[in-house]
Amino acid sequence: MMYKNLLYELKEGIAYITVNKPKSLNALNNEVLDDLYAAFTAVNNDPEVKIVILTGEGKAFVAGADISEMVGLSTLEGRDMMIKGQSVFNMIETLDKPVIAAINGFALGGGCELAMACDIRIASEKAKFGQPEVNLGIIPGFGGTQRLPRLVGKGMGKYLIMTAEMIDAQEAYRIGLVERIVPAEELMGTAEKVAKTIMAKAPIAIKAAKLAINNGISLDVKTGVAYEAEIFVAPFCAEDRVEGMTAFLEKRPAKFQNK
Ligand code: CO8
């Protein structure tokens, strides 16, 4: 698959999507958003793809929405771009397959929001995070006001959005914005290791777990637990459940067939 603003590679079931506009620190304009939509649609439909690793080329993961494009937009065009970005990020969040963000550098504004739409965030020690939108007279519009407080809590979410403070990877890890931090040279290797760990599990269980967490998180616990009960049934009915449990009892690795 070829994209103007992305690099794409499929290796051993892992799709690598790299935002590739390093001159503008991978800023998201309408064209990049279209490419991301096309790429994530394609990986979702490709049975060879089991998991996705999303990263950025150069010193940024993504430094935000493209300010040079946004400055000239009318109000309606700005709204359209916001809705487009939200649709792409919602799609990533609800993709059938797990998505790991390998955050190599700046993840600011729309870049931080993009990372937050992924299932798991692994950051290089060189990564920097922030929601600097209020510096530009706007608020986060690609989901940041909703996903950030859900990850780091309401107070810290407000602090980061209202102060526009840029934080380093260590602080992002401390507040729960990322799940792992590693030296820069180990970033892709660690992301691959995590991807392979997840790929070794029953795919139907991974898909169900993602669904239960994504859709349950905004419910009260009682309703969420009832929802979990509904989702629980599908993997329990699957052949892979019998294989997983039999393999445990026979003290051998499970051979999951996605059945
Ligand atoms: N948009 C456009 N161009 C950018 C962006 C960006 N977000 N970030 C960096 N660039 C460009 C710079 O303008 C520069 O271009 P040039 O070489 O032509 O001058 C090039 O990338 C390199 O950047 P710097 O020279 O600034 O590199 P530094 O290492 O000195 O600084 C920073 C790196 C700190 C990341 C700095 O570039 C910066 O502060 N960038 C802006 C970060 C920002 O404010 N991001 C938030 C944008 S708003 C947003 O994301 C809203 C999302 C919702 C939008 C809804 C749709 C309407």
Q: Whose CA is nearest to atom 3 of ligand 1?
A: 24
Rounded Cα–Cα distance for residues 189 and 199 (Å): 15
Confidence band, pLDDT 50/70/90 cuts, at residue 77: very high
Rounded Cα–Cα distance for residues 179 and 14 (Å): 20
Q: Residues with beta carbon inside 6 Å of ligand 1?
A: 24-25, 27, 63-68, 70, 78, 81-82, 85, 106, 108-110, 132-133, 136, 140-142
* Secondary element (H or E) of residue 168: strand 167-168
* Domains defined along the chain, listed by start: 6-199 (3.90.226.10), 203-249 (1.10.12.10)
Task: Assess whether pLDDT exceeds 90 at residue 259.
Answer: no
Mutate to test the pocket of ligand 1, among 24, 25, 31 (most ligand atoms within 8 A of CB): 25
Confidence band, pLDDT 50/70/90 cuts, at residue 247: very high
Going from the Cα of 17 to the center of ligand 1, the distance in angstroms, rounded, reads 21
Going from the Cα of 11 to the center of ligand 1, the distance in angstroms, rounded, reads 31
Q: How many residues does the chain have?
A: 259
- Written as six digits, the tokens of 194 are 């995590």
Burial class of residue 161 in the structure, from the number of CB atoms within 10 Å of its CB (0-12 exposed, 13-18 middle, 19+ buried): buried
Matching residue, tokens 């487009």: 84
* Cβ neighbours for 40, distance < 8 A, ≥ 6 positions apart: 17, 52, 88, 91, 92, 95
Query: Can you say whether the dihedral through the CA atoms of 100, 94, 18, 12 is positive or negative?
Result: positive
pLDDT at residue number 258? 84
